[in-house]
A and B are shown apart, each in its own frame.
Chain A
Amino acid sequence: MLLEKKLRARLEKNKILLMTHIVLGYPSMAANRQVIAQMVAGGVDCIEMQIPFSEPMADGPVILKANQDSLAAGTKVADCLAFGAEMTARHDIPFLFMTYYNIIFKYGEEKFFKDCRDAGIVGLIVPDLPPEMGENFFKLATEYQIAPVLIFTPTSTDARMAELDKVAAGFIYCVARRGVTGKQSEFGKDFNTYLARCRAATTLPLAVGFGICNRDDVTAITGLADMAVIGSETIRLVDAHGPEAVEPFIAGLR
């Protein structure tokens, strides 16, 4: 799919890619615009934009609060799609949506895929939709050529990884540890074994996320994975120092 091709092209220039995350409408779409411009200027290779949901089961406190505040400020799904279209037109990097399945289910699966394609979105991350629950979703993903990014975890068996690999596209999101988003991970020997298992299970590029917050973390996974995911850390940064702190932070990661 398009997403994998774009990432492979970027991997020609960099040993490790950077993907960042934002929660749409938090603190505002105007701030999202600035933050994304800063991220792109800082050199990110890919951005996942989270459409907020009232019940973000897999997210930790930082992203949970961002979801709630965004919804309290009145963010609508339609606004998020329009914003996505604006970003893909303005910046020449791949953009993904991350959200929970109910958002897509209520919007209408096929309409969601169609509107995502029209908006130039190249991938979707839906953490509460395992392949066995999403027959129609994965069919539509192929039809609309929007990569369904799936997640490997340290609890995934080799057999499970193989199953996931059959339907995944774009890249595999390797969760570094048990738990929710935004907490520190340890990159030890077990972690290297785990990443080696991930690598053996798929030919797709590997992204590593959950708790990456500095240059050392990025260095630790360079050579083992293809892309580092910076999630909660940029939200903390923007909360504390405003959008203009983002570009130097991203630029300093590799």
Chain B
Amino acid sequence: MANKSLQEISLDGLWKNNPALVQLLGLCPLLAVTGTVVNAIGLGLATILVLVGSNLAVSLIRNHVSDAVRLPAFVMIIASFVTVTELVMQALTYELYQILGIFIPLIVTNCAILGRADAFACKNGLIPSAVDGLTMGLGFTVVLILLGVVREVIGQGTLFTNMDLIFGEMAVNWQIVIFNDYPDFLFAILPPGAFVAMGLIIAVKNLVDNYLDEKALANQAEVEVGSKRARVTGKIS
């Protein structure tokens, strides 16, 4: 686990060990608020903020907290960062704060964050922890946005509605109406649709992984043809 290069850490967070697609953590906010892209981005940014902050703080105190009380300490740290995030959102993006509602305080219970604190930050230094928090958060956010895109297009027939809630005045006209006169497809807006979309995204990821594995296997086989080993039977120690 230790001595991973920053690249490996990033790859883990974004793809190999993606909190949403592989660890399947934090499903509650993932499925509940991804009805539109703007909600997804809002929650994603908040999660990144908390994840980086808590990873940094946990990494800083990792040598001063005894094992017995580490989890309560981590939760306290995470809760503090969530409170900070909540206050920031209240100040800057009040409407989005109201739309996301209970799911901002609920970031505290997002297992992905406590999971990273306990599995990574408390065993690694400052910079790897920060990178881990950032890439894990980004990986989570990308999946959130993907789900938001799928559900907004299928559910309402629009894309980037209400983006001004985050990006201010300049984003007022960002809304793209894909289908005119579209009857709302409630299934995609409701949580069951989120489960189905999530399943499909995971399926696509597995497809890509299988494809990459097969390709790697094919390459490997070619290399072994030129093996110089003379003895091919018997026990190879």
> Do A and B come together as binding partners?
no
